[in-house]
A and B are shown apart, each in its own frame.
Chain A
Amino acid sequence: DQQVKQNSPSLSVQEGRISILNCDYTNSMFDYFLWYKKYPAEGPTFLISISSIKDKNEDGRFTVFLNKSAKHLSLHIVPSQPGDSAVYFCAASSSGTYKYIFGTGTRLKVLA
Chain B
Amino acid sequence: KAGVTQTPRYLIKTRGQQVTLSCSPISGHRSVSWYQQTPGQGLQFLFEYFSETQRNKGNFPGRFSGRQFSNSRSEMNVSTLELGDSALYLCASSLAASGVETQYFGPGTRLLVL
Chain A residues at the B interface, C-beta cutoff of 8 Å:
4, 6, 31-32, 34, 36, 41-46, 49, 51, 89, 91, 93-105
Contacts and interface: CB of A to CB of B under 8 A. Distances in A.
A94 B105 CA distance: 19
A6 B98 CA distance: 26
B56 A93 contact: no
Interface stretch (B43-51, B62-70, B79-87): B43-51
Contact of B100 (A42, A43, A93): A93
Contacts of B25: none
Contact of B45 (A42, A46, A100): A100
B31 to A, nearest CB: 7
Contact of B48 (A42, A91, A99, A103): A99
Contacts of B90: 43-44
Nearest to B105: A43
Contact of A34 (B31, B41, B103): B103
Contact of A104 (B42, B55, B99, B101): B42
A31 B101 CA distance: 11
Contact of B99 (A45, A49, A93, A105): A93
Contacts, number: 71
Given A102-B42, A103-B42, A46 B103 contact: yes
B41 A46 contact: no
A89 B108 contact: no
A62 to B, nearest CB: 14
B100 A104 contact: no
B55 A98 contact: yes
B13 interface: no
Nearest to A101: B45
B24 interface: no
B100 A31 contact: yes
The 9 residue pairs across chains A and B that have the minimum distance between CB atoms = A43-B105, A32-B100, A102-B42, A102-B43, A104-B42, A98-B55, A98-B99, A98-B56, A98-B48
